[in-house]
Amino acid sequence: MRILCGVATFLAASHSVVVVVVAAAEAPQQRQHMAWPSAEPASANQKLPSHRQPKYRPDRKRANAVKQAFRISWDGYYKHAFPHDSLRPVSNSFEDDRNGWGASAVDAFSTALIMGEHKIIDQILRYIPDINFNHTDSEVSLFETTIRYLGGLLSAYDLLTGPLKPRFDYSTHQTSLILHQAVRLADNLKVAFDTPTGIPDNDLFFSPPRKKGSTSNGLATAGTLVLEWTRLSDLTGDPQYARLAQKAEKYLLHPKNPAMGEPFPGLLGSSLNLDTGLFEDGAGGWGGGTDSFYEYLIKMYLYDPSRFSVYRDRWVLAADSSIRYLTSHPTTRPDLTFLAMWRNRTLHYFSEHLACFSGGNFILGGLTLDSPAYLGLGLDLVAGCRATYTGTLTGIGPEIFQWQDNTAPLNASNNSPPPTHQKLMYSRAGFWVTNGGYQLRPEVIESYYYAYRATGNQKYQEWVWEAFLAVNATCRVGSGYSSLMDVNLPEGGGWTDFQESFWFAEVMKYAYLVFAEEAPWQVKAGLENRFVFNTEAHPIRVAGGREKYGGWRG
């Protein structure tokens, strides 16, 4: 998930189509409302359950079609942009938006490994040792660098020294260089934690490494480091990385000023002071700027239940408060379910593409804690986010959308009706568009993936396929795929001429996995999980693997 500072700031203050090798998609199914049962949340002390696995139905033709899109994206990047960060597919040029270290190559690494794309893997593996993580001319984001670069390197190392080791003939020296580069990068980043509280400064400069001097940090940017930094310690045996990230996390797990920073139990504000550790506001949501903090709470428990039970407890608090306070239904489509944003204890009925990860996160929490309530809400949120796709002209969901809640007072200052020119859309779709951009985001397809893995229901494969075809039809241009100006205009309103690195890491990976064969990195409904995905969709091996037992336990 990517943060979106604009939403947090608002709350705090107030074409050509790729040739697909399968038949055209069937007509989209009508949405069937899946009511989540009334059930008490899972006990915070219960053990991980053991469920029967659903029956999955791999589809090789569709999986290959996604691989074809991945190859097109990579070939364009490799020809016109490598080793820079990102491809501009319309102008066949590049942009160094992530410090010039080859963000698209590192983000593509784990996806190429999972797909078995040998040529691409070789190209990336040869490049990794050459990255100069000691130097960049641009400002460094601790958060973005952690989830993309550090997460991508750790994931590749976990895959190549784990389940993929027998498949690829790479030497121990070659794979060890991946971990070496991860350590080198973290050693340059760790200056960020040198603050009075240990809450990191997200904004850094290198050559030499130093802080920018920020006075605050965001919930997501401070709270989405702990998985990658803990994993690095577990692999190297050096505890300093885990200690740094976990010390910062304590201010989020135990807010010092909950009257401001925790408006609802477990639901927090969006900004913390680096000197005092106090929250500076009470605004937030499951969207940009705060999203992946909540995501990592349950994922840390899945990574190691013995060490991270407090993270589980805080996720349960947040999930229960979301069910009690945030669930919302549009006046024109009460069958749809969204999660509201908040400023203090006032709700605001808008959401965003980024927040659509929440369906998958609730599903994962429901499986992990054996809770029908969490699982059911997650499936409802998935269906609600699908409606934002089927309700637009392109069949792709918008960056930000809004609705009028059906229980809050109508026309209240926080529950306004749609503008005149969008009333027809709202009456039909249950939402209206406030920002129609599409930045090649993965969150809706990501949640479809979790829904499919939890249930085995083939309709979620169909939903992925219809989304994949819609993106193919509109975003495919020039030498790759581009973000769009407005999903509710013909041809997406035009292209921004930018192919995000997380297109490789997330959209391509989740779209592929829903059609792929069983593998150790696939999410298991029975929770025999060997990997957990970081927020950039890089699979990280769960604790209890090689670092503790001396070898991959296949």
**What amino acid positions are annotated as catalytic residues?**
399
- Report DSSP letters for 273-311, one per residue: ETTT--BS--EE-SSTTTHHHHHHHHHHHHH-TTT-HHH
**Residues 471, 96, 244, 549, CA torsion sign:** positive
Could you give the strand order of the β-sheet that contains 283-284, starting from the edge strand earlier in sequence?
Answer: 283-284, 341-343, 346-348
Residue with tokens 């597919």: 89
Q: What's 70-91 look like in SS3?
A: HHHHHHHHHHHCCCCCEEECCC
Nearest to 521 by CA among 166, 110, 121, 236: 110
User: Could you give the 3-state DSSP secondary structure of residue 488?
Assistant: coil
User: Could you give the 3-state DSSP secondary structure of residue 496?
Assistant: coil
- Residue 544's region, left for phi above 0, alpha for psi from -120 to 50, else beta, is left
Which helix (H) or strand (E) segment is 424 a member of?
A: helix 423-429
CA pair distance 279, 276, nearest whole angstrom: 9
Q: What type of residue sits at position 208? A: P
Contact criterion met (CB below 8 Å) for 318 and 267: yes
**Helices then strands (H, E): number in the chain?**
21, 19
Question: What backbone torsions phi and psi does residue 393 show, to the nearest 5 degrees?
Answer: -65, -35
Residues 6+ apart with CB under 8 A from 157: 175, 178, 179, 182, 235
User: Could you give the 3-state DSSP secondary structure of residue 499?
Assistant: strand
> Computed over its alpha carbons, how large is the radius of gyration of the chain?
22
Contact criterion met (CB below 8 Å) for 287 and 354: yes
Tokens of 231: 């994993």
CA distances for 242 relative to 139, 192, 227, 307, angstroms: 24, 14, 8, 12
DSSP state at residue 23 = P
Q: What's 201-262 look like in SS3?
A: CCEEECCCCEECCCCEEEHHHHHCCHHHHHHHHHHHCCCHHHHHHHHHHHHHHCCCCHHHHC
